Amino acid sequence: MAAPADAFRNSAEVEAAFRNAPPEVIAEIMDGELHLQPRPGTPHGLATSALGEELGPPFKRGRGGPGGWVILDEPELHLGPGPDKLVPDLAGWRRERMPEVPDAPAILLAPDWICEVLSPSTIGIDRGRKRRIYAREGVAFLWLVDPAAQTLEAYRLVDGRWTEVATFEGNARVWAEPFDAIELDLETLWAR
């Protein structure tokens, strides 16, 4: 939910409200507006955790896959003018672009891949403003995972626009770029 338009008169007030947001919410700034969202529910958390567990060994550690990635849960990203301050569910950088994770509260380098796990309170922002910001910043791949619908939508950025590569459903076993070096069992994302 966005803070009321008249709640903050300038960027300093928005920044102060961002820094002072209570820990039970996720605070983000998009287009100069503060957005406060409740922490995700259990299905969201299960899908995010399972996906990180599936991708970590082959891509982060190189066990059973090519390695070469830094994959982080809920990193705080400061991107573009303003800057926009976003917290995707998962984000990944190719090691050649980010050889070491910065020892800083936020990362300024746009990821190569982002995954947003959709929930009723965030679906509009994830499909709208955040997708637009990710495209503007040149994020090459975007996954939208919907635990309720049991879908994974995979997108690739082509000439500054999102192109849907595939939508996978249910308990399918899939190869989804940029992690198509391994088979991903979607059932693990929905298991409780």
CATH number of domain containing 136: 3.90.1570.10
Is residue 76 domain-shared with residue 34, that is, in the same domain? no
Whole-number average pLDDT of the chain: 92
User: What is the reported pLDDT for 9?
Assistant: 56
Q: Structurally, how many domains does the chain consist of?
A: 2
Same domain, 78 and 143: yes
- Of 180, 176, 97, 83, the C-alpha closest to 137 is 83
**Distance set, CA 87 to CA 43, 96, 145, 184, 191 (Å):** 18, 22, 15, 24, 24
pLDDT tier at 1 (50, 70, 90 boundaries)? low
Say whether both 160 and 180 belong to one domain: yes
| Sign, CA torsion 59/73/125/152 | positive
pLDDT band at 10 (very low <50, low <70, confident <90, very high): confident
Whether the pLDDT of residue 6 is over 50: the answer is no
Overall average pLDDT of the 111-136 stretch: 96
In tens, the pLDDT along 142-173 reads 999 999 999 999 999 999 999 999 999 999 99
Distance CA 30, CA 68 (A): 30
31-47 b/e with 16+ CB inside 10 Å = b?
eebbbbbeebeebbebb
Indicate the pLDDT class of residue 81, thresholds 50, 70 and 90.
Answer: confident
Q: Does residue 62 sit in the same domain as residue 128?
A: yes
What is the domain range of residue 2?
A: 1-39
For 20-46, what is each residue's pLDDT tens digit?
A: 999 889 999 999 999 998 888 899 999
Backbone angles phi, psi at 62, to 5 degrees: 80, 15
Rama region for 17: left / alpha / beta (φ>0; ψ in -120 to 50; rest): alpha
Q: Are residues 13 and 44 in the same domain?
A: no
